[in-house]
Structure 1
């Protein structure tokens, strides 16, 4: 019988079931007609694409169990990508199901026909460490994220009373980004801000516009590169994740998730930046001028 117990034991059956469920959840989460999804462009159909890929991965595990390592690894990657490209990973459920299914597929070992069961709860001699690796994968990711956190400052960092407006065509952090909501001391009293900590970041076509009551000044940078202990303090910002899904975040409404994967970038970002600190700041094409001044940055400036 196709779904007999003996047949299921010859392949990562439950891992495949989890991947199929993850793909179905991601694809059904938008619950929008085809005309609406197509009208939204790539951002609207990302859920369908990733969901279909996970379903295919689950079916492939049943048909070709010997490819479990390759399929499991890519299923985990797709599931993590869905957090940024597909309704926060199908509101978290689809992403978690996909990660669990991919890890189970990677850790699965075929049972040889007629092989006696293991003599005890411990692993058999020569057992592959795949199971331990799959279980430890979330811990390894968390441990990798910890170095990105900037050390605590010895004292409060004062900021201006009115945060300037910042725009950039592309914001690309390096490594994991750790986010939290804190109160930042400012000249006008403590202000609730989102704190983004990372190892490094690059901001393309960076523009900062002051609003402190005096003449408005604009600082334009062709490319701003931050390295070391990078910390951004922003009250709110909006942009398009991976250039596909446009979202708005706020310290009072929808803050940034606590951990953001290293490959996530944002385009067309607009933010109110209370403060930025970094060990090293490199600026290509720096220009400071009154806000009404126009004109392209001179070459090599």
Structure 2
């Protein structure tokens, strides 16, 4: 049954006083993430933790959309957290609902963050910003990293056995791109994940070498800061995103999300590090033991 003209006018007035379309996109993205895990039980069991994560993230995005509708004053906080969850769904679920749910979540988050009430209670001139912000976000982040992780640095060769690295907190800044490539070693090329960023901070850093036939060396630092064209070459990487969702990445396993917000951090990190390059490395309390 169609709404009466006065009901349509009331709905239109209500819609213009909040980031309505942003909330709708978030709820659609969350619903899409729920579609596969809410399949028959046999499908859900086969999905394992990825299916459970999809349910949790999907419900959280739907709740975020509801918050944008009924509590628009909290849109900035809600939008930032929804953006984090949308991007993390790429790694934690079925590739972010095969990219559809993730992209809907990113678009809704950006529109919600960019929305402001107009002078007459509507969205005013911010409509253009809200629509273009998701495209600007992807255009600024994706092309910046595309192609930069395709080749190893010229003249550098990594150790045949990657070093073991642990840190209680890994915080990248200006994360641009993550990809997979080949790195030369004394025993032939090795497949690695290549993570590029502007800077990174590692707390309680410990690196242990595992070269064949040589004594084990341990390098520790209370804090390690990398800056200027930082690239990490890893054969394995695991940790807890935002200290909550624990995942493991590898070149042949779970892919690293191609775009990661600059405010995401990881705790309880363990990694197999083949090589690291940076313009500047500053260590606090550096110690080398045999």
Question: Normalised by the shorter chain, which TM-score bucket?
Answer: 0.7 to 0.9
Distance of aligned partners of 1:16 and 1:204 in 2 relative to their CA distance in 1, 3 Å threshold? closer
Distance of aligned partners of 1:2 and 1:175 in 2 relative to their CA distance in 1, 3 Å threshold? farther
Partner in structure 1 of residue 42 of structure 2: none
Pairwise CA distance, 1:258 = 1.1
TM-score by length of 2: 0.73
Secondary structure at the counterpart of residue 9 of structure 1: helix
8 Å Cα contact 2:241/2:267 also seen in 1: yes
Partner in structure 1 of residue 82 of structure 2: 79
| CA–CA distance in structure 2, aligned partners of residues 280 and 104 of structure 1 | 37
| 1:136 and 2:143 matched | no
Partner in structure 1 of residue 163 of structure 2: 164
Q: Deviations over 1:43-78 (max 9, x none)?
A: 979648734641432541xxx7xx5xx555444323
Pairwise CA distance, 1:29 = 7.5
Secondary structure at the counterpart of residue 258 of structure 1: coil
Partner in structure 1 of residue 259 of structure 2: 259
| CA–CA distance in structure 2, aligned partners of residues 26 and 75 of structure 1 | 18
Q: Whose helix fraction is larger, Structure 1's or Structure 2's?
A: 2
Q: Deviations over 1:132-188 (max 9, x none)?
A: 212321343245436678698772421111111111111100122410101111111
| CA–CA distance in structure 1, aligned partners of residues 189 and 107 of structure 2 | 42
Partner in structure 1 of residue 12 of structure 2: 9
Secondary structure at the counterpart of residue 262 of structure 2: coil
Pairwise CA distance, 1:6 = 3.1
Pairwise CA distance, 1:8 = 3.7
Structure number with greater Rg is 1
| CA–CA distance in structure 2, aligned partners of residues 286 and 154 of structure 1 | 26
Q: RMSD between aligned alpha carbons?
A: 3.8
Counterpart mapping for 1:270-289 below 5 A: 270-289=270-289
Distance of aligned partners of 1:29 and 1:73 in 2 relative to their CA distance in 1, 3 Å threshold? farther
Secondary structure at the counterpart of residue 285 of structure 2: strand
Partner in structure 1 of residue 107 of structure 2: 100
> Which stretch of the first structure deviates more once superposed, 171-180 or 276-285?
171-180
| CA–CA distance in structure 2, aligned partners of residues 24 and 139 of structure 1 | 22
Pairwise CA distance, 1:14 = 4.6
8 Å Cα contact 1:148/1:175 also seen in 2: no
Counterpart mapping for 1:195-214 below 5 A: 195-213=194-212, 214=214
8 Å Cα contact 1:242/1:266 also seen in 2: yes
Count of residues paired in the alignment: 261
8 Å Cα contact 1:209/1:218 also seen in 2: yes
Distance of aligned partners of 1:71 and 1:94 in 2 relative to their CA distance in 1, 3 Å threshold? farther
Gap runs ≥5 in structure 1: 32-39, 113-126, 291-301
Counterpart mapping for 1:46-195 below 5 A: 47=57, 50-51=60-61, 53-60=63-70, 67=72, 70=73, 73-82=76-85, 83-84=87-88, 87-88=92-93, 91=97, 92-103=99-110, 128-142=124-138, 144-145=140-141, 155-195=154-194
Distance of aligned partners of 1:16 and 1:170 in 2 relative to their CA distance in 1, 3 Å threshold? closer
